[in-house]
């Protein structure tokens, strides 16, 4: 089955840029989706299809995907961005949905 | 606005069957445009996709739980359900229901989640 690898944690100062990676075999050839999960809350979709944003998601959230790594970039980080972030893909060979292990974003 | 709401017992005994229902409002489980999914999250851990059901009744499950899981749909009540048999402490988790576009493969609407604890 397809495996997605995320760093357990990323730290960033307010106002700076955070980059959260999601590694997978030739992940650049498939669509990657990203979710934000604040403590005690359900996940929220923040980026879909590598780089598209649902309505209501700030432009500060962006995504890219190439080669073996997809990246979620959060610009001008705010305290409210502190959360767990998960990448997710569709494994077409099995029709299964796969999540990465999650990355805890800490705003210093 | 689509809303999903999980319901069911918060405590299940080991070896018994966990049963949860997701009630959908603002949308229809009979729509051929969506899959209806279950995801779980053990305390302090990451998200695990359990499986989905399509309005036609077709399903697909995560191999890690496939032998113990059944997802069904009740179009008359606009609900879909999850059953996990022979539960153990490892099934203790927050269980989420969610909607996925049938040609998008991302989960755009989620329920608030419900904690199910497996304990005697």
pLDDT > 90? residue A1: no
Residue of A nearest to B106 (CA): A33
What does the pLDDT look like over B34-66, one tens digit per residue? Answer: 999 999 999 999 999 999 999 999 999 999 999
Size of interface A-B (CB pairs under 8 A): 58
Q: Which residues of A sit within 8 Å Cβ distance of B?
A: 1, 31, 33, 35, 37, 41-45, 48-49, 54, 84, 86, 88-90, 95-102
Residue B73 has pLDDT above 90, yes or no: yes
Mean pLDDT of B76-91: 97
A1 interaction partners in chain B (CB closer than 8 Å): 63
Does B40 reach chain A within 8 Å, measured CB to CB? no
Q: Name the average pLDDT for chain B.
A: 96
Contact between B100 and A97 using a beta-carbon 8 Å cutoff:
yes
| pLDDT of A28 higher than 90 | yes
Smallest CA–CA distance from A92 into chain B, residue: B105
Q: Which two tokens stand for residue B94?
A: 């927050």
Tokens of B105: 């493969």
DSSP string, A91-103: ETTTTEEEE---E
The per-residue pLDDT for B32 is: 87
Q: pLDDT band for B1, please (50, 70, 90 cuts).
A: very high
Q: Tell whether the torsion through CA atoms of A25, A29, A35 and A36 is positive or negative.
A: positive
Residue B102 pLDDT grade (very low, low, confident, very high; cuts 50, 70, 90):
confident
- Give the number of residues written for chain A: 108
* Distance between CA atoms of residues A72 and A92, nearest Å: 22
């Amino acid at each position: 089955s397809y495996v997605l690898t995320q760093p357990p944690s990323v730290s960033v100062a307010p106002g700076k840029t955070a980059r959260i990676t999601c590694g997978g075999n030739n992940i650049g050839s498939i669509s990657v989706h990203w979710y934000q999960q604040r403590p005690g809350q359900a996940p929220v979709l923040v980026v879909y299809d590598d780089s598209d944003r649902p309505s209501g998601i700030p432009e500060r959230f962006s995504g890219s995907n190439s080669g073996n790594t997809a990246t979620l970039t959060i610009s001008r980080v705010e305290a409210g961005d502190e959360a767990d972030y998960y990448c997710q893909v569709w494994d077409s060979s099995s029709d299964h949905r796969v999540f990465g292990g999650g990355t805890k974003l800490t705003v210093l | 606005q689509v809303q999903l709401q999980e319901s069911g017992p918060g405590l299940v005994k080991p070896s018994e069957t966990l049963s949860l229902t997701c009630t959908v409002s603002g949308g229809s489980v009979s729509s051929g445009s969506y899959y209806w999914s279950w995801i779980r999250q053990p305390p302090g851990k990451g998200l695990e996709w359990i499986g989905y059901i399509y309005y036609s009744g077709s399903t697909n499950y995560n191999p890690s739980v496939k032998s113990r899981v059944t997802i069904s749909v009740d179009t008359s009540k606009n609900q879909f359900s999850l059953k996990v048999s022979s539960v153990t402490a490892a099934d203790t988790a927050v269980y989420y229901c969610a909607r996925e576009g049938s040609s998008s493969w991302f989960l755009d609407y989620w329920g608030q989640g419900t904690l199910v604890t497996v304990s005697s």
